[in-house]
Structure 1
Amino acid sequence: LLIPQEFRTADNGAEHGVFCFFSIESDCLEAGGDKLMAEYVSMIEELPFGDDLRTALEETFYAGQRPLAYDGGGRITLPEGLCQEAGLGDDVVIVGLGSRFQIWDRARWNARRDERRALARQAVRERGEAGRLALRARRPQGEGA
């Protein structure tokens, strides 16, 4: 699988390879470099040792991840077990998410994409409404409508 250049940068710590695992959030694979690793480690270490949530995160993230190096052309070979777990076939799509990216079965992603766009639109509308309310609350009485 060819990883686009913008995902293979020093900024996200993925210039030499990525960590790949079954996503905790969705039915896909998730991958990223050192920055993503640090985010998960920080989240896990915030929880007390022995806490059930911490153990679940450790089992899912640490036990499920595979370090993958790029070949000379910027490609990685996805482990068959991870592909089976995520239901990946020959037609996949890479979805960039800042410090990480997800690898989806194209048909599954196409079905999810419209739902996620609608949710994102709702988030933008709600944020805009909250911002307008906050602005109105800061205005002195009698100014503006």
Structure 2
Amino acid sequence: MFLGTHHPKLDDKGRLTLPAKFRDALAGGLMVTKGQDHCLYVFPRDEFEQMARKVAEAPFTNEAVRAYQRYLFAGTDEQRPDGQGRIAIAPELRRYAGLNKECVVVGAMTRLEIWQADRWQSYLEENEEGYAQAREEVLPGVF
């Protein structure tokens, strides 16, 4: 389970040090892909494979499905953290997410999200009120 917010820096070689508390869960390999909202998603390999099977089962006769499948699978990079817990973020993925030195890694239960720090702050500011209002729609009867 991935939770919390962390603030690692991207080094000059495009490497990001993963938060120490997540390294064991990702030591067997991970998949970095383009996420929604111009962030990157980081999945443990087995979690990505489960999700990818569901995406692959969608009817490829649907144009939107084909486009989504192409974008997702073509934009995915397999990584294995080095001894210091670093992963190399491919240039195209860095471009897509607008990553430079200041990053935010957000735990999102089954995945991590990597955001450019200022984009993450803007996202929080734009969506804070929506979060406060959405609890009954998302989780009726839980709170």
When normalised by structure 1's length, the TM-score is 0.75
Count residues with an aligned counterpart.
126
Deviation, 1:77, is: 1.1
When normalised by structure 2's length, the TM-score is 0.76
The answer to whether residue 102 in structure 2 is matched with residue 91 in structure 1 is: yes
Counterpart of 2:59 in structure 1 is 48
The answer to whether residue 37 in structure 2 is matched with residue 37 in structure 1 is: no
% identical aligned pairs: 30
5+ residue gaps, structure 2: 1-15
Counterpart of 2:19 in structure 1 is 4
Contact 1:44–1:57 (CA<8 Å) still a contact in 2? Answer: no
Distance 1:85 1:126 in 2: 31
Distance 1:110 1:3 in 2: 20
Distance 1:118 1:9 in 2: 35
Contact 1:8–1:17 (CA<8 Å) still a contact in 2? Answer: no
Distance 1:118 1:15 in 2: 37
Looking at CA atoms only, which structure, 1 or 2, has the larger radius of gyration? 1
Deviation, 1:29, is: 1.3
Counterpart of 2:28 in structure 1 is 16
Deviation, 1:8, is: 3.5
Cα RMSD between the aligned structures?
A: 2.2
Contact 1:96–1:102 (CA<8 Å) still a contact in 2? Answer: yes
Q: Which moved more, 1:47-56 or 1:64-73?
A: 47-56
**Matched residue type, 2:99:** L
Within a 5 Å distance, the mapping from 1:55-66 to structure 2 comes to: 55-66=66-77
CA displacement 1:93-134 (0-9 Å, x = unmatched)? 101111111111101100111233322211125568x54xxx
5+ residue gaps, structure 1: 132-145
Counterpart of 1:122 in structure 2 is 133
Runs of 4+ in 1 over 6 A off after TM superposition: none
Within a 5 Å distance, the mapping from 1:104-143 to structure 2 comes to: 104-126=115-137, 131=141
Deviation, 1:2, is: 1.2
